[in-house]
Chains A and B, each alone.
Chain A
């Protein structure tokens, strides 16, 4: 058995791409909220909870849907290990805005519950019934070396079959999701897959 990258997906401000194929274009440079809604429609998702989520969780959920939406990946043999830079900055600012004035002090539970970066992992787990380990590491850019070390160790030491890994980061102005599905596959069956090594992030150009 060998760990390979089976699939990949990317959402950037101009395109949503699955395994190299463009799923949604954003030629008119819609703002994040509108653009994410377009992707939601294009993927034909029926998941009303999506509209309650903050931008970071919406982005992570959509990218995961593009990655594994058409497959059967659930349960405790799949882990999620993600990198992120700005944590929940957008929701953090919203929460601070609600408590900026002592006379008009209205923090909202619906905002506060999104003020942690690992909530996006929780949302992915709920949607796909994934019950394995999930961890969120903070990094300025995708640190493929670290993620590769961590994920490889999960496959070796804890017998995971699959792991969603990559980098998801969101601010209103700047966002990116690059996700990879790593899986333990038979060495002879590696044709349609990609090498999982310390530069696995290069699979997405």
Chain B
């Protein structure tokens, strides 16, 4: 059975549709800004925030939280682009790491009931809002959650339970995560610089992304290239809970599993959208894994310089950006990368490559808990 990506949305500080976000990246814009807001952190810091003043249309419904409003907008926009979807045959798969964590703050003064902090309540809220028969599943696998969610959706369709799935991922920029990554000394005081010799850590961003996947590809959309979700794999480092394996063992295994599940060989990969968080250890680990697998010549980019690390959204918005690059036959630059800062050779995309056709693209992610996930997309036609 073939599973296709049929519609999508990206909601980030750069825009509230996939097209807006893609154009912003082509124009080398970034959502990462200096933020001075003592509700988020005592001192100024760098991050990506979806401002109410910039996008008032996203936050019209008081009975929903900040994150729920982002999810609602993102899903609504994606569904509008897939009117053919039968909602009775549609699964809902949600990816998030911290959900409505802002409601748990001791300083929270709002009126949302406490159970809205439960990640499973997000599924309930969104399923009811969109009138779905499926009550929704939530996957919370740290930074790989988005790719895990896409693979979970693929599984739910392959087992015949559903024909389509709404796969949506999001996380907010909260004091909880900012203070946490600050205390781990993982946050950069400059916009993050993936794979660069001067990289100092991550920039956090808030975002939400939605991909509609289906076992049918609508005829009316045949003017644009079809994208199939070919296969994926996940693996654990079994090494450390908050740092990657030095040798990239888990990432290598996840990629090998994805290649096997996709029935292709490693030489078929045309393009890699990597995790590239800009921490010293992550980027080095990825370089070792890609090099060992013989992928060091394959054009590779990280989009964290545009969006920051968007946690539960990352795997989904970066998969959407991967697909959009495949459709447009081009590759986006790795923003803020200047000088090679990893020990193994990587073919990092430094400037936009305007003519680049990829038939098979690999998207990878790695996260706390030692988890790694890889997914492969195939493009049909020109």
Residue of A nearest to B370 (CB): A122
Q: What's the tally of chain A residues with a CB closer than 8 Å to chain B?
A: 50
- Check B182–A121 contact: CB distance below 8 A: no
Query: B237 is contacted by which of A112, A131, A135, A139 (Cβ under 8 Å)?
Result: A131
In the bound complex, residues from chain B placing their C-beta under 8 Å from that of A131 are 235-238, 249-250, 253
- Check A113–B368 contact: CB distance below 8 A: yes
Query: A122 is contacted by which of B179, B183, B368 (Cβ under 8 Å)?
Result: B368
Known A76-B253, A102-B38, A107-B180; contact A122-B106, beta-carbon cutoff 8 A? no
* Size range of the chain B interface in the assembly: 35 or more
In the bound complex, residues from chain A placing their C-beta under 8 Å from that of B242 are 109, 113
Residue of A nearest to B119 (CB): A138
CB distance from B80 to the nearest CB of A (A): 28
User: Quick check: is B155 within 8 A (CB to CB) of the other chain?
Assistant: yes
In the docked arrangement, what's the CA distance between A139 and B182, Å? 30
User: Quick check: is A134 within 8 A (CB to CB) of the other chain?
Assistant: yes
Query: B140 is contacted by which of A87, A123, A140, A157 (Cβ under 8 Å)?
Result: A87
In the bound complex, residues from chain A placing their C-beta under 8 Å from that of B128 are none
- Check A126–B370 contact: CB distance below 8 A: yes
CB distance from A110 to the nearest CB of B (A): 9
- Check B140–A122 contact: CB distance below 8 A: no
In the docked arrangement, what's the CA distance between A85 and B118, Å? 7
Interface string of A105-134 (1 = CB under 8 A from B): 101110011011111011101101111111
Known A92-B104, A97-B106, A116-B369; contact A105-B42, beta-carbon cutoff 8 A? yes
Query: A109 is contacted by which of B38, B183, B369 (Cβ under 8 Å)?
Result: B183
- Check A133–B184 contact: CB distance below 8 A: no
User: Quick check: is B53 within 8 A (CB to CB) of the other chain?
Assistant: no
Q: Which of A128-183 contact B (CB under 8 A)?
A: 128-140, 146, 149-150, 152-153, 157-158
User: Quick check: is B26 within 8 A (CB to CB) of the other chain?
Assistant: no
In the docked arrangement, what's the CA distance between A134 and B236, Å? 7
- Check A138–B180 contact: CB distance below 8 A: no
Chain A at the B interface: SS class: mixed
Residue of B nearest to A103 (CB): B42
- Check A95–B236 contact: CB distance below 8 A: no
- Check A126–B235 contact: CB distance below 8 A: no
- Check A125–B141 contact: CB distance below 8 A: no
User: Quick check: is A86 within 8 A (CB to CB) of the other chain?
Assistant: yes
In the docked arrangement, what's the CA distance between A140 and B240, Å? 29
User: Quick check: is A93 within 8 A (CB to CB) of the other chain?
Assistant: yes
In the docked arrangement, what's the CA distance between A86 and B97, Å? 12
- Check B155–A118 contact: CB distance below 8 A: no
User: Quick check: is B27 within 8 A (CB to CB) of the other chain?
Assistant: no
In the docked arrangement, what's the CA distance between A79 and B93, Å? 20
In the docked arrangement, what's the CA distance between A117 and B117, Å? 14
B residues at A contact (CB < 8 Å): 38, 42, 97-99, 101, 104-107, 117-120, 123, 137-142, 148, 152, 155-156, 158-159, 161, 175-176, 179-184, 233-242, 249-250, 253, 257, 261, 367-371
Can you pick out 20 interface pairs between chain A and chain B where the beta carbons lie within 8 Å of each other?
A86-B118, A92-B104, A105-B42, A107-B179, A109-B242, A113-B184, A115-B98, A115-B176, A116-B368, A119-B241, A121-B369, A130-B238, A131-B235, A132-B236, A133-B234, A135-B141, A137-B137, A139-B120, A140-B120, A150-B152
Smallest CB-CB A-B distances: 9 pairs: A122-B369, A112-B180, A133-B234, A138-B138, A138-B119, A107-B183, A125-B238, A125-B236, A113-B242
